[in-house]
Chains A and B, each alone.
Chain A
């Protein structure tokens, strides 16, 4: 079964750091772009970052540039999101999702992991 499973979400104080993980199974992980998409409570979807198959290219939404870092370990079939200098507005459910190519949409999504930034 093709599957993505996120982990690492928790309650963290403003200014803190957190690393989210996403493990893939049932498909050739190293042939897909990997994305992180978030959804604040009661709000719509916001793409956060993605990385190419070998991790050599990475793209971010402006609001997280310099604070978040996406990385991947194809040997472990995993993608990560290192989040530093967290803000209250980063509170959201974070999903990882795969794409064959960026313009073709994200065809498999994880169940999401919840990050709450609050004092």
Chain B
């Protein structure tokens, strides 16, 4: 199974800050990584697919990069509504696997 390791597990940042979340895959997953945001008590929301493709309706302050085993999600100019837990997920091979999550707190 492909293990997805996210870091950091927790981020506290101010409005306007640049936030970067990293996801490492235990083996090459090409560019088949998606990113989700989950707010407390809610279903996850797809932000990014195939590493760097912004899902329709997602603000352009979100961006993704990487390939192989290293991937990043960047929020350029954190907004108050960006709080929540962010997860990466690989779609290269079964079983599909998620990272452990990064909780983002907006100061």
Residues of A within 8 A of B (CB): 35, 37, 44-47, 50, 59-62, 95, 97, 99, 102-107, 109-112
Q: Does B45 contact A (CB under 8 A)?
A: yes
Neighbour of A103 across the interface among B92, B98, B99, CB < 8 A? B92
Q: Contact between B50 and A110 (Cβ–Cβ < 8 Å)?
A: no
With a cutoff of 8 Å between Cβ atoms, the chain A residues found around residue B97 in the complex are 47
5 smallest beta-carbon distances between A and B, as pairs? A105-B34, A103-B91, A109-B43, A105-B49, A103-B32
Count, A-B residue pairs, CB within 8 A: 66
A-B contact pairs, 8 of them (CB 8 A): A35-B96, A47-B95, A59-B94, A99-B91, A104-B50, A105-B34, A105-B36, A105-B89
Residues of B within 8 A of A (CB): 1, 32, 34, 36, 38, 43-46, 48-50, 55, 85, 87, 89, 91-92, 94-101
CB distance from B47 to the nearest CB of A (A): 9
